[in-house]
Amino acid sequence: MDTNDNSGDDEDVEMKVSMTSKALRNNFVQGRHAPTEGIVCAVAVHNRGRASDLLDEMAASNEAGWTKYGTGTYSITDVEAAEKFIEDNGGDVPFRP
């Protein structure tokens, strides 16, 4: 049995990168918020429950610049942190208008 199986961790990071990229691509930054469903739709349907949990965790710790507002809307308040997070985890930073 492999005790160093990080496939779940890798999948979590991949979901975090996908959600962060989607938020930047759709300009969910600063004052423009998105509901949970508008962000977790960036991942496969069977992973959306986990993605929602990850989004909450990221916002609670301000990981990748995420902030939670009220009862379920999110925004990236630190674009540089989000772009660095994407790059550091092997993603491509999306073009932003």
Q: Which ranges of the chain does DSSP label H, i.e. alpha helix?
A: 7-25, 36-40, 48-61, 79-88
Cβ atoms of 15 and 8 within 8 Å: the answer is no
> How many structural domains are present in the chain?
1
d(CA 22, CA 39): 7
pLDDT band at 42 (very low <50, low <70, confident <90, very high): very high
CB 96 within 8 A of CB 24: yes
Q: What is the CATH number of the domain that holds 38?
A: 1.10.10
96 within some domain: no
Residue 74 domain boundaries: 7-88
pLDDT, mean over the chain: 90
Is 1 within a domain?
no
The answer as to whether 95 is a domain residue is: no
Residue 3, classed as helix, strand or coil, is coil
pLDDT tens digits, 2-36: 444 556 789 999 999 999 999 999 999 988 999 99
Residue 81, pLDDT above cutoff 90: yes
Per-residue pLDDT tens digits for 65-74: 999 998 789 9
pTM for this model (two decimals): 0.88
pLDDT at 1: 40
